[in-house]
A and B are shown apart, each in its own frame.
Chain A
Amino acid sequence: MTAWKTLRGIAVPLIAVVIFLAFWEWLVWVNGWPKFKMAAPSDLPPAYERHWNLFLTMGWQTLWRTVLGLLLAVLFGTLLGMIMGFSRLMRDALYPLLVGFNAIPKATVVPIVALMFVGQHDFNTVLLAFMISFFPIAVSVSIGLSTLEPEYRDILRSLGASQATIFWKIALPKTLPEFFGALKVAVTLAFIGTNLMEIVSPHGRGLGALFDSGRTNSDFPLMFAVLIALAFLGIVLYYIVVALEKIFAGWAERTPG
């Protein structure tokens, strides 16, 4: 029975993927689209084969810059969230600024950043990944901390515990489920930030730049191959976050029954 369930768990999504690819292939074939208009799934393996080295180096570029931007976003977002979570005054002061900053479409920030730090492609890319992804983390941490029920504080405070102890023993662990929820959103956002910069800035590097070179050559197989590579990296990073969540905030998951 359990073997059947495992088999089903693997087979069902696999069949769905196969059906999707077959439909895509059929759509390209029945419309007779040439390669400079649209790519079919069967065009992708040759594209990977031709540019295998580029995919590895560019993929690594994109990955490390995204992860670095994300780490900075975690540090800064957590710090900002703590400041806003503990101080009503700071929350009132910073929240409108933060919302305003977040409302700016980050695509418009790209040329500004690119002009300000001309030629510093690595720095620019990390900066954009960071700028786009710290917001959900800051908000979730601040909400997690400010909605802590007063009884939780009282239990420790009545014993003479310091604010720092209350933070480490109660506030921080209690905020972890919200934090990981926000981190899952931030991972996807950070990729958007990295790619925006890679695509827009001239002489860029990374998968975004590879995508752009495919675009200028109307090489649709290459462009789609990049998209799938990006999706792959995104999925890997997402599941790393899920694994971390299981380790550090697994208690928040209720087992049914």
Chain B
Amino acid sequence: MQNLIEIKGVRHAYRTDAGPLPVLDGLEISVPEGGFIAVVGPSGCGKSTLTRLIAGLMKPDEGEVWLHGERVRGPRSTVGMAFQNPVLLEWRTILKNVLLPLEIVPSKLSKKQAEDRARFLLSLVGLEGFEDKRPSELSGGMRQRASLCRALIHQPDVLILDEPFGALDAFTREDLWQTMHRVKEREPFTGVLITHDLRESIFLADQVVVLSGRPARTQYVLDIPSDGPRTLDDLYTPIAAEQLNILRHQIQIAQGRAPAEEART
């Protein structure tokens, strides 16, 4: 299978007053079409930089980012993004917020078709009946659902999620995890999820990439095999406990709290 996202030997440093601050150092990541990877790592290790590189919002100092067999040199309309902050436009209704990307990206859909698609996505995430509400009338979780619909409206082939559930309470978060599975079933995409939550990473992704502390490189990759749809109960099985254990240990290595020689790649 062709890899949809290919990150090869990426190095990047931010210029600061105190000299260059390297954040990424020899990053290697590949995601097959339809794959869903979760990226975990210590705070400030350059995870958000990684999303900006994939989205073409910035260029790496060294190395290459490839999407769909094409080298990324700038922003591409085939990417959808959602952040921890849902950044909905307060002066637009939820429906108009979801439709925003179609005002930028050339689309074959007519106005009616676009609206129908937006309504379909909103119903998929459980926001039926909220189309004409303003963002301020919605709860944090509902806003995040709307933000997800906006990221998907233009049928991107890559969905970048930068800690989208980080600011939500535990129950809402688990609800949204299940929503993600439902969405992926109906609207297939290739996903990159940045997260701090190890349970989230093994529940949603089929591969978890652990980044080392700054400057980040790929430290460990854990495959999460799956047979059939996942349920929240799967998180309380011995297999899940074992996976979480491995990841927790890898994070400790990344943070420099466990001896590094145990790291496997």
Contacts and interface: CB of A to CB of B under 8 A. Distances in A.
A213 interface: no
A155 B91 contact: no
B75 A160 contact: yes
B76 interface: yes
A158 B76 CA distance: 6
A49 B83 CA distance: 66
A80 B83 CA distance: 32
Interface residues of B, number: 25
A174 B90 CA distance: 8
B87 interface: yes
A252 B91 CA distance: 7
Contacts of A176: 91
B155 interface: no
Interface string A135-168: 0000000000000010110111111110001000
Most buried by B among A155, A170, A174, A249: A155
B136 A169 contact: no
Contacts of A251: 90-91, 134, 136
B105 to A, nearest CB: 5
B85 interface: yes
Contacts of A252: 90-91
B85 A149 contact: yes
Contacts of B154: 159
A173 B52 CA distance: 25
A238 B87 CA distance: 32
Interface string B135-154: 01000000000000010001
Given A165-B104, A173-B91, A252-B90, A160 B136 contact: no
Given A151-B83, A170-B89, A251-B134, A158 B100 contact: no
A173 B74 CA distance: 27
B125 interface: no
Contact of A154 (B57, B76, B134): B57
A157 B81 CA distance: 11
Interface in B44-100: 52, 55-57, 74-77, 79, 81, 83, 85, 87, 89-91, 100
- The binding surface of chain A is classed by DSSP as helix
Most buried by B among A157, A165, A170: A157
- The binding surface of chain B is classed by DSSP as loop
A166 to B, nearest CB: 9
A173 B90 CA distance: 9
A254 B74 CA distance: 38
A149 B88 CA distance: 12
Contacts of A152: 87
Contacts, number: 58
Contacts of A151: 83, 85, 87
A167 B83 CA distance: 20
Contact of A159 (B87, B89, B104, B134): B104
Contacts of A159: 75, 77, 79, 101, 104-105, 154
B76 A169 contact: no
A173 B105 CA distance: 21
Contacts of B89: 169-170, 173-174
A20 B45 CA distance: 66
A134 to B, nearest CB: 25
Contact of A156 (B74, B79, B83, B104): B104
A149 B134 CA distance: 19
A159 B57 CA distance: 10
Nearest to A160: B75
B87 A155 contact: yes
Nearest to B106: A160
B77 A254 contact: no
Nearest to B52: A154
8 contacts: A152-B87, A157-B57, A157-B75, A158-B81, A160-B104, A169-B100, A174-B89, A176-B91
Given A154-B81, A251-B90, 10 more contacts: A154-B52, A154-B83, A159-B75, A159-B77, A159-B154, A160-B104, A165-B104, A169-B103, A174-B90, A249-B91
Interface of A: 149, 151-152, 154-161, 165, 169-170, 173-174, 176, 249, 251-252, 254
Interface of B: 52, 55-57, 74-77, 79, 81, 83, 85, 87, 89-91, 100-101, 103-105, 134, 136, 150, 154
